[in-house]
Amino acid sequence: MKDISKPDIATLVKLQEAETQIVRLHSVLEKVEKEKTKLTSRLQQFAKALDQNQEDLAKAQAACRDSEREIQIVDDRIIKSNENLRMVKTNKEYQVLLREVDDNRKRKDALETELLEFLDEKEKSEIIAEESKKEYDLLAEQISSQQAEIEKKSSDDKELLEEYLEQQKNIGKHLEPSLMDRFRKISKMNQGEAVTGVDNGVCLGCFMNIPPQLFIEVQKGASLISCPQCSRILYHVNTD
């Protein structure tokens, strides 16, 4: 047990108070960042769905354009064949052209039927894409508002964290480097709690009883005493 002054113990307690707040605020701000990430991820999922819907619409529009172009090509062939019919000189040529016109008309009918299906698909895709865009825009606005609100609320915690970090720095200047190093090591071992009180012989860090003689030394406050179970630096707390 290393001798230590009561002011040093009081300094350690103050340092622990700042450390506790720093750990708490880090946890709060970490949750804030996770919430913001969660909101961003949700928006990205909607954006992905929107992209897919718009891609489906683009494909449907392209299919309609291709079908319309092919119909136009077949229609031009029919017109040309009809013109050639008036100029043929033999029955054989006439029959060949007539059959060609008939085949192209059948092809045109099939293409027009296919086009109707493409147009129906395009109309459905337009509705889905439009609704998807509305949903995305609404969600983007909501998430932007929520993130702004979260950021506004967390700004106070960020300022408070800076204050406690500054306090921690200033308080640490009043302790010997070796004592400060010990505080840091124990704090790392115990999730930010290096110093804890003892009440009626019970460590308030691990809630285990400490030996009676050790409790007496803690009450005196003249030595640097650690809990045998959790290694936290102990100080006396009188709650009677």
Residues 6+ apart with CB under 8 A from 129: 50, 53, 54, 56, 57
| Alpha-carbon distances, residue 96 vs 82, 105, 107, 202 (angstroms) | 12, 14, 16, 109
Residue 174 confidence (pLDDT): 87
Return per-residue pLDDT of the chain as tens, 240 residues.
455 677 888 899 999 999 999 999 999 999 999 999 999 999 999 999 999 999 999 999 999 999 999 999 999 999 998 888 888 888 888 898 889 999 999 999 999 999 999 999 999 999 999 999 999 999 999 999 999 988 888 898 999 999 999 999 999 888 889 889 999 999 999 999 999 999 999 999 999 999 999 999 999 888 889 999 999 999 998 765
Q: Which one, of 30, 22, 4, lies nearest residue 184 by Cα?
A: 22
Say if CB 57 and CB 125 are below 8 A apart: yes
The Cα 197–Cα 108 span in angstroms is 91
For 23, list phi and psi in degrees, rounded to 5: -65, -45
Residue 202 confidence (pLDDT): 95
Let me know the angle formed at the C-alpha of 63 by 59 and 65, rounded to the nearest 5 degrees: 115
The Cα 40–Cα 33 span in angstroms is 10
Domain range summary for the chain, segments of one domain joined by +:
23-174, 176-240
Q: Which CATH number fits domain 23-174: 3.40.50.620, 1.10.8.590, 1.10.287.1490, 3.40.718.10?
A: 1.10.287.1490
Residue 152 confidence (pLDDT): 85
Say if CB 175 and CB 5 are below 8 A apart: no
Residue 94 confidence (pLDDT): 86
The Cα 65–Cα 42 span in angstroms is 35
Residue 31 confidence (pLDDT): 92
pTM of the model: 0.65
Which ranges in 173-205 belong to alpha helices (H)? Answer: 177-189
The Cα 165–Cα 19 span in angstroms is 8
3-state DSSP call for residue 200? coil
